Amino acid sequence: MSPEILAVLLLIGLFAGAWNAVAGGASLFTFPALMAAGLPPMTANATNYLALLPSGAAALPAYKEELKLAGFRLIPLLLISGAGAVTGSFLLTVSDPDMFREIVPFLLLTATALFAFGDQLRAFLLRTLGHSRSRMLILFAMFGFSIYGGYFGAGLGIVLLGVVQIFGFEGYHSANGVKNLVATFFTILSVTVFGIGGLISWPAAIAMMIGSTIGGYFGGRLAKRINTRWLRSGIICFGVVLTAVYFHRIYFA
């Protein structure tokens, strides 16, 4: 991979890290960017996990007080989400590359829909599971969403936020801090599985990681101050266009 491409990936990582910390949804442009750099879809997906890992981790210090108050209540969420992520990541490593390429448009469509209608889905989860006294049911929902998170993961943040709120972290900033911790934890596990499976392009991942670390650090400090509505609208429009482009490329070109 040429130095010029790596430099572009670093800049994309910088932007993606800040965007992810503030509004989420950065995978909708980092994943296609890695494919545009010449990586096969499965390798781009696995590399994307490692590339964006620092953006979530770097935002955690902004929520240190909220996480300190959460204490031992975090353990069940971390264990269940980790188990789901490992399951999803293993499924990716044994997937047929041609099959994965063919479902890329559907994965992008799912990610865009989750991002666009995540608030409604979160409200639905709060209505249906919020009155349930069964924590097992809530943890089962977390396990299911985490399988998707380990396999592809884009657009999942707002749904994880809802599950975390149902679990008892009701304040937005408290829930957002816990969501970031959960996502960072299961991303580490997914990256481990992908690394063992040989799916990660390390030069591309390292270049984008450097950028996303810097972007995530500063983005985490802006997250509590910025109205993210217009940012979310922009990423939804981009996701719709991107999905249409990939459907055309794979099925109609």
Measured in degrees and rounded to the nearest 5, phi and psi for residue 62 equal -65, -15
- pLDDT at residue 130, rounded to an integer: 62
- Angstrom distance (rounded) from CA 93 to CA 118: 27
- Angstrom distance (rounded) from CA 239 to CA 100: 19
Residue written as tokens 């999942």? 156
Tell me the residue range of the domain where 174 lies. Answer: 3-252
Q: Give the residues of the chain that fall short of pLDDT 70.
A: 21-24, 129-134, 220-228
Our count of domains for the chain comes to 1
Q: Could you tell me if 141 and 105 are in contact, meaning their C-beta atoms sit under 8 angstroms apart?
A: no
pLDDT in tens, 191-213: 999 999 999 999 999 999 999 88
- pLDDT at residue 18, rounded to an integer: 80
- pLDDT at residue 133, rounded to an integer: 55
Quote the tokens at residue 49. 């996990």
- Angstrom distance (rounded) from CA 164 to CA 76: 11
Q: Could you tell me if 240 and 113 are in contact, meaning their C-beta atoms sit under 8 angstroms apart?
A: no
Q: Could you tell me if 192 and 92 are in contact, meaning their C-beta atoms sit under 8 angstroms apart?
A: no
- Angstrom distance (rounded) from CA 249 to CA 253: 5
- Angstrom distance (rounded) from CA 111 to CA 90: 20
- Angstrom distance (rounded) from CA 213 to CA 143: 27
Whole-prediction pTM: 0.83
Using DSSP, state whether 57 is helix, strand or coil: helix
pLDDT in tens, 225-248: 666 677 777 778 888 888 999 999
